[in-house]
Each structure stands twice: as structure tokens, then as C-alpha cells.
Amino acid sequence: LGRRELRPEGTVVSIGPAKIGDGSVAIFAGPCAVESSEQMEDVARAVAGRGVVGLRGGAFKPRTSPYSFQGLKWSGLEMLEEVRLKTGLPILTEVVDTRHVASVAEVADALQIGARNMQNFELLREVGAAGRPVVLKRGFGCTVDEVLGAAEYILATGNDQVILCERGIRTFEQATRFTLDISAVALFKQRSHLPVMVDPSHSTGLPKLVEPVALAAVAAGADALLVDVHTQPEKALCDGAQALRPSGFRELVGRLEMLALGL
Ligand code: PEP
């Protein structure tokens, strides 16, 4: 269902008023995890109006260690709803459990399937049926074919509002958190009609690499970027080490604008 030949013009995914896949570059920004109402509002106000079409923030965090912060869960979801009301920014948030899908879909404008759940096929079916746009993140041990196969599970529910997200894969390289597979960005565009997002934050794990990798992603054809931004990264409860400060984020947007204008 996702093969390019079936829809050569490409699919446009609508999240709130934003159109992902329409030729522009859509940016989703925000903290890795929702930590408090104030934190969400501070970040939202810092990024709003800077090319940002939606706010990211995890209320349910699937962490490698069960002893790490697992997210504020339902109260985090309430905070996301609050910040949307205050700022008008659409919300993209992860869903980790089939039993949560309907409730998370009531609040979220788009549902994220995290790398660790890319092949949780029951979850894919459930989010597909929820009727919300879905951002499908690449499992870090999964091939391009496996990503496309996972997308089929969602498409098969009749929901074509799917965005493929390249977020890096595991390689022997230790200098970055994961290795962003830039050729996958071009391959997804060539083989699928779905829009492609790139997450330069989770892939590199390094704020200094977010901008160059984001620029490379756009040059390779990415339709959207998913960027971790935190007003106080040093105090973040989750993945603060990879988050941009608002000033760094503004610089990134400036560079992207220059790229778009060919300056
Ligand atoms: C995230 O985007 O919040 C996240 C946990 O990313 P990933 O699933 O790609 O690790």
C-alpha cells in the first residue's frame, strides 16, 4: 500500500493546520519528556513561531532501564493538553501500549510509535485504527524493508496518514549515540509515497551535531524534523544531553531558512 508507484505524487499528512509532505520542511520541537506544565509552556513559547508546526513531548517514556524516569504518564498527557490550549500548537506524543491508544489519541494530534515498538504489530494496528496521523520511528536494529513492512500494518487499517522517521541505527560507531542512515531518507522517499521525518537529536545524541545532521537530512529530501529542545537541558529528566537550548534551536532554524533560500 505504501509503494511509491501507487501514489507518485506522494502523500501529504495533515497534523493540525500543518501539511507534512507538501514540499516545505515541517519542524516538531520540544523536550524529550514532559516534566511539568511550566517546562512545557516555557519550551513551547521559546520555539513557537520559528517554523515549528507542532510540539513534541513524551508522557509515556519507554526507557532502557526500568529505574530511569518513565514519564509522567496520564498527568503528562494532561499537561500536553493544557499547553496545546494555551499555545495552539499541535501535539505529537508517543503511545506505548495498546490499552492506552484511544485515550492518548483523544489528546494527541499525532501519535508516535517509538523505535523500540516499531515491530509491535498489535500496537501498529491499534494506532492505525485510532484515525490519527502516526509518526513511525525506525527501530534501531531494523532494515529499510522492515520499516516499510511496519508501515504497511498501519496503512492496512485504512489510515494513510503515516510519516516514516529515521532516527539512527546501531552500528559499531560509538562517537554518536546511533548512526543516522542518510541513505535511508532518500530510499524511503524513492520507495514509499509517505513523508519522511528525521530525528537528529536521538540519532546523534549530541547537540553540536543536530544542526549539520538536520541540514543533511533536508538536503537528502526529508519533509520534517523532530528536534529535542529544552530550556534547561542540564536539569532534564530524560536525554537532556542531546537537547538544544532555544538559542541553538533558533540558529538551526536560521540555517534551514538559508538552505531553503539557497543562500
Ligand atoms: C522519542 O522520540 O521520544 C524517543 C524515545 O525516540 P526513539 O523511540 O527514536 O528512541
Name the residue of 28, 93, 112, 178 to mutate for ligand 1: max ligand atoms within 8 A of Cβ: 112
57 lines ligand 1 (CB under 6 A): no
- Ligand 1 atom with least separation from CA of 62: 5
Distance 115 CA to ligand 1 centre (A): 6
CB distance 229 to 35 below 8 Å: no
114 lines ligand 1 (CB under 6 A): yes
Name the residue of 32, 70, 119, 198 to mutate for ligand 1: max ligand atoms within 8 A of Cβ: 32
137 lines ligand 1 (CB under 6 A): yes
In the chain, alpha helices (H): 37-47, 74-87, 101-107, 121-129, 144-155, 182-191, 200-204, 207-219, 246-261
Res 260: pLDDT? 75
139 lines ligand 1 (CB under 6 A): no
167 lines ligand 1 (CB under 6 A): yes
Cβ within 8 Å of residue 55, ≥6 positions away = 28, 29, 30, 40, 43, 44, 47, 80, 83, 84, 87, 89, 90, 91, 92
- Ligand 1 atom with least separation from CA of 114: 8
Distance 49 CA to ligand 1 centre (A): 24
The tens-digit pLDDT sequence of the chain (263 residues) is 999 999 999 999 999 999 999 999 999 999 999 999 999 999 999 999 878 999 999 999 999 999 999 999 999 999 999 999 999 999 999 999 999 999 999 999 999 999 999 999 999 999 999 999 999 999 999 999 999 999 999 999 999 999 999 999 999 999 999 999 999 999 999 999 999 999 999 999 999 999 999 999 999 999 999 999 999 999 999 988 999 999 999 999 999 998 876 65
The CATH homologous superfamily of the domain defined by 4-261: Aldolase class I (3.20.20.70)
Res 59: pLDDT? 97
Cell numbers of 225, please?
524534523
58 lines ligand 1 (CB under 6 A): yes
First to last CA, the chain: 38
71 lines ligand 1 (CB under 6 A): no
For the chain, give every domain's residue range. 4-261
Pick from 112, 125, 132: which is nearest to 71 by CA?
112
168 lines ligand 1 (CB under 6 A): no
Res 74: pLDDT? 97
177 lines ligand 1 (CB under 6 A): no
Give dist(CA 127, CA 159) in Å, integer: 9
Res 263: pLDDT? 59
32 lines ligand 1 (CB under 6 A): yes
Pick from 46, 60, 25: which is nearest to 196 by CA?
25
CB distance 229 to 31 below 8 Å: yes
Cell numbers of 216, please?
543533511
Cell numbers of 140, please?
534501531
| Residue type for position 82 | E
Res 262: pLDDT? 63
Give dist(CA 258, CA 263) in Å, integer: 5
| Residue type for position 135 | V
- Looking at the DSSP bridge assignments, the partners of residue 110 are 92
- Looking at the DSSP bridge assignments, the partners of residue 15 are 18
